């Protein structure tokens, strides 16, 4: 089968997903087109122009199927290159624009319309979590109700009939049993994209609560950085120099994996996470999760690893997060953690491959 794979915003998680598809199914003939993961507003509206005109020769070749990430402007691309409208399309939703926290005065109307038209024109829709799907449908319903007139009543029904849920595979090949790693002082890990939606302010508040309680810790503060670094992360670097083990982007994949293996707890302070691949990879490497009871986390992790979500009040949430960490760390030190309720095997490439095969390559 000849497959055209399109990723319009090739951030790390999207790039990893594409790489895994190619590795899982080498028997197929893949043509991959990507665009850099920057300039979000231009990318989500301009990718059809960049490819439909700039890569027209590639797009007009013969393919059996198109697989696209949800940031590809599928409807416009099919219009610019009519040959693409004659073959099946699968759109994979790593995230959705209806649940994304936006700044005041920016309602993301354009990205939302792209998502709507993608969902309508594709033959098949795949979401990485039920949380992603549910917030997409709920958010789209609210969005359509704001439109002044002429919204077909069956719009949501058309979309609902075409969806399924398959997670993004975790990129660590071997899942490992979580255990006490022997660190006398707990080593914390925050390994997320360095942007506001990953909760850097929440992290700063949490670390300050730990300091106020005289709780000793070390931390690996790593992740993908951009031109503008959130002030909270710069503040942490200045105020916690003795606690920081690693700070910034880790270039080497092996070094990154070693940091995950050496850490005791993986922290999420996210305001926006539709699966939390960085957290899953860390847990698969032996980290104990400390996650909020929001987003996709309640469908992935048992309640005892969740702290109370109070994203509108940093101090209350930071206190709850500190309570959770200190409680679990006592059990870690005393080897009292029974972690049989955490199993990442279901997210492995090995176990997800048959699901992808059934969905993506069915006739």
Q: Are strands 29-36 and 2-10 parallel, antiparallel or unpaired?
A: parallel
Give yes or no: residues 149 and 23 share one domain: yes
> b/e map of 38-49 (b: 16 or more CB within 10 Å)?
eeeeebbbebbe
Q: Is residue 140 part of a domain?
A: yes
Give yes or no: residues 217 and 296 share one domain: yes
pLDDT computed for residue 104 by the predictor: 47
Half-sphere exposure (CA, 13 Å, Cβ side) for 153? 0
Query: Looking at residue 142, which CATH number applies to its domain?
Result: 3.40.50.2000
DSSP 8-state symbol, 72? S
Q: Is residue 180 part of a domain?
A: no
DSSP 8-state symbol, 190? E
Q: Is residue 141 part of a domain?
A: yes
What Cα–Cα distance (Å) separates residue 33 from each residue in 5, 54, 90, 150? 6, 11, 15, 36
Q: Can you read off the two tokens belonging to residue 264?
A: 């005791």
Give yes or no: residues 16 and 150 share one domain: yes
Give yes or no: residues 227 and 273 share one domain: yes
Give yes or no: residues 233 and 96 share one domain: no
Q: Is residue 182 part of a domain?
A: no
Q: Is residue 341 part of a domain?
A: no
pLDDT computed for residue 321 by the predictor: 98
User: What total number of domains does the chain contain?
Assistant: 2
pLDDT computed for residue 268 by the predictor: 98
Give the three-class secondary structure for 126: strand
Contact predicate 136/116, CB 8 Å: no
Give yes or no: residues 120 and 266 share one domain: no
CA angle centred on 290, ends 212 and 336, rounded to 5°: 95
Give yes or no: residues 213 and 299 share one domain: yes
Half-sphere exposure (CA, 13 Å, Cβ side) for 296? 26
CA distance 137 to 325: 34
Give yes or no: residues 131 and 249 share one domain: no
Give yes or no: residues 31 and 124 share one domain: yes
Domain span at residue 292 reads 187-333
Give yes or no: residues 201 and 151 share one domain: no
Per-residue pLDDT of the chain (363 residues; tens, 9 = 90+): 999 999 999 988 899 999 999 999 999 999 999 999 889 899 999 999 999 999 999 999 999 999 999 999 999 999 999 999 999 999 999 999 998 766 545 668 999 999 999 999 999 999 999 999 999 999 999 999 999 999 999 999 999 999 999 999 986 555 455 566 889 999 999 999 999 999 999 999 999 999 999 999 999 999 988 888 999 999 999 999 999 999 999 999 999 999 999 999 999 999 989 999 999 999 999 899 999 999 999 999 999 999 999 878 999 999 999 999 999 999 999 988 877 888 888 999 999 999 999 988 765
Radius of gyration, CA atoms only, the chain: 21
pLDDT computed for residue 337 by the predictor: 84
Q: Is residue 176 part of a domain?
A: no
Q: Is residue 324 part of a domain?
A: yes
Q: Are strands 288-292 and 265-267 parallel, antiparallel or unpaired?
A: parallel
Give yes or no: residues 59 and 162 share one domain: yes
Contact predicate 183/209, CB 8 Å: no
Please state, as a whole number, how many other Cβ atoms lie within 10 Å of the Cβ of residue 158: 11
Q: Can you read off the two tokens belonging to residue 60?
A: 């007009």
Q: Can you read off the two tokens belonging to residue 5?
A: 């794979």
Q: Which residues contact 299 (CB under 8 A, 6 or more apart)?
A: 129, 130, 131
Contact predicate 319/252, CB 8 Å: no
User: Long-range contacts for 347-353 (Cβ within 8 Å, ≥24 apart)?
Assistant: 347/167, 347/168, 347/169, 347/170, 347/280, 347/284, 348/169, 348/170, 348/173, 348/175, 348/284, 349/20, 349/23, 349/24, 349/169, 349/170, 349/173, 352/166, 352/167, 352/169, 353/24, 353/169
pLDDT computed for residue 225 by the predictor: 87
DSSP 8-state symbol, 285? T
Give yes or no: residues 218 and 165 share one domain: no
């Amino acid at each position: 089968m000849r497959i055209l794979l399109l990723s319009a915003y090739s951030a790390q998680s999207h790039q990893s997903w594409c790489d895994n598809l190619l590795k899982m199914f080498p028997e197929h003939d893949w043509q991959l087109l990507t665009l850099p993961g920057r300039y979000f507003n231009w990318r989500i509206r301009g990718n059809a122009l960049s490819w439909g005109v700039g890569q027209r020769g590639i797009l007009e070749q013969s393919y059996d199927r198109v697989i696209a990430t949800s940031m590809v402007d599928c409807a416009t691309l099919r219009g610019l290159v009519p040959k693409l409208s004659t073959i099946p399309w699968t759109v994979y939703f790593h995230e959705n624009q209806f649940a994304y926290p936006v700044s005041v005065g920016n309602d993301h109307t354009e990205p939302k319309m792209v998502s709507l038209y993608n969902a309508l024109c594709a033959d098949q829709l795949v979401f990485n979590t039920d949380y992603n799907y549910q917030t997409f449908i709920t958010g789209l319903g609210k969005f359509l109700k704001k439109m002044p007139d002429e919204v077909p009543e069956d719009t949501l029904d058309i979309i609902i009939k075409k969806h399924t849920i398959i997670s993004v595979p975790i990129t660590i090949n071997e899942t490992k049993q979580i255990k006490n790693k022997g660190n006398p002082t707990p080593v914390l890990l925050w390994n997320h994209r360095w942007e506001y939606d990953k909760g850097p302010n929440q992290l700063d508040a949490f670390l300050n609560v730990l300091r106020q309680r005289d709780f000793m810790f070390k931390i690996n503060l790593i992740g993908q950085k951009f031109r503008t670094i959130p002030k909270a992360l710069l503040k942490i670097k200045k105020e916690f120099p003795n606690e920081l083990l690693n700070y910034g982007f880790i270039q080497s994949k092996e070094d990154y994996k070693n940091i995950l293996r050496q850490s005791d707890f993986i922290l999420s302070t996210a305001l926006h996470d539709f699966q939390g691949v960085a957290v899953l990879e860390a847990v698969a490497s032996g980290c104990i999760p400390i996650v909020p009871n929001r987003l996709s986390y309640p469908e992935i992790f048992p309640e005892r690893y969740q702290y109370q979500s109070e994203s509108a009040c940093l101090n209350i949430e930071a206190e709850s997060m500190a309570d959770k960490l200190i409680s679990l760390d006592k059990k870690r030190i005393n080897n009292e953690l029974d972690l049989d309720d955490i199993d990442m095997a279901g997210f492995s490439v090995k176990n997800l491959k048959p699901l992808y095969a059934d969905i993506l390559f069915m006739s």
